[in-house]
Structure 1
Amino acid sequence: MANRLVQTTSPYLLQHADNPVDWWPWSPEAFEEARKRDVPVLLSVGYASCHWCQ
C-alpha cells in the first residue's frame, strides 16, 4: 500500500507520511478513486498538537 502523503510539501501531512494507512491528499484523483470504489471520503480537518499542549 502506498501512502501518497510522502509526496506532499505540507508539514501537517508529512507527519502522517509513515502511517500504514492509504492516505490521499485532497485532489480530484482522490475523489475519483472514491467514486470508482463507491466508498465514502473520510476527511481529516488537520488537527495536530504538540506534546506541550497535552
Structure 2
Amino acid sequence: MPFVWLISFLFIFMSFYHNELLAAVLSLVSLVPYYLVLWLFRNQLKHNFTFKIKPIK
C-alpha cells in the first residue's frame, strides 16, 4: 500500500511542479501521515490481523 501511495503522489507532484527532486521529496513526505495513522491505530490493528505461514511442499 505505501508503494502505491508513493507512486501516486509522485505522479501528482510531477504534474504540478515539473521538478523531479521536489516531487520525490514531497512524495516521501506524504508518507508521514500514512505511517502516523498506522502508529496511532496500532493497538486496534494489532487485534485485527493474524498471519499464518504454511510450509512449502
User: Structure 1 length as normaliser, TM-score?
Assistant: 0.30
- 1 or 2, which has the higher helix percentage? 2
- Quick check: which has more Rg, 1 or 2? 2
User: Structure 2 length as normaliser, TM-score?
Assistant: 0.29
